Amino acid sequence: MRANLDPELLQRLRTLPEADAPPYGYGEFSRLRARRRTRHAQAPLRLMAAALAVMIGGWVVKQGLVPTSADVARDPPPPAALSQWQGSMAAEGTSALTVNAERWLSEQPRAAIVRVPTQMAVTELEDQIASIDDQLTAERLSQPHAQQLTLLQRDRAQLVESLAQVRYAQILVAGVQ
């Protein structure tokens, strides 16, 4: 016997509709795949740039141009604009996860001395989020297209999550050291 569930319940389970439609069609998938391939292709270049930056950073520290202590400086509290932005995102139906992740990010201290490759990743993600914020603002000011807004919101949510992952890893590493 395969199961000891009530046959009626089993039937209901097996005839459930699809959970949700896939997020996009093949066209969008191809675009995302191409974007990811480009990122992979650029990885060695980024690694070289990061190594170069580490070497330069090391030289700068060695020359005594920046403080060498690993003191952690807290960022100033998030400006009122950020809170307003978070409020508006919540009002527009942005997922609780994104809003909470942003709140968590804004509460994290920033290391005064950081690992250069990690900081580059953080900066790049923050730049991308800022760029999407600009696009969202422009989209809202022009004639808003619901689909375009949804796509931008989705990209933004993924970037915020990636940023939170990097910052979380940074905190774990700091904890280990």
Binding site for other proteins (CB under 8 A): 2-6, 9-10, 12-23, 25-26, 29-30, 32-33, 36, 95-98, 100-101, 104, 154, 157-158, 161, 165, 168, 172
Residue 109 Cβ vs other proteins, minimum distance, rounded to whole Å: 17
Which residue, 66 or 165, is less far from other proteins as judged by CB?
165
Which residue, 20 or 71, is less far from other proteins as judged by CB?
20
Report residue 143: phi and psi, to 5°.
Answer: -85, 110
Which residue, 49 or 162, is less far from other proteins as judged by CB?
162
Return the number of other C-beta atoms located less than 10 Å from residue 162's C-beta. Answer: 17
Residue 64 Cβ vs other proteins, minimum distance, rounded to whole Å: 37
Integer Cα distance of 59 and 151 in angstroms: 43
Which residue, 3 or 65, is less far from other proteins as judged by CB?
3
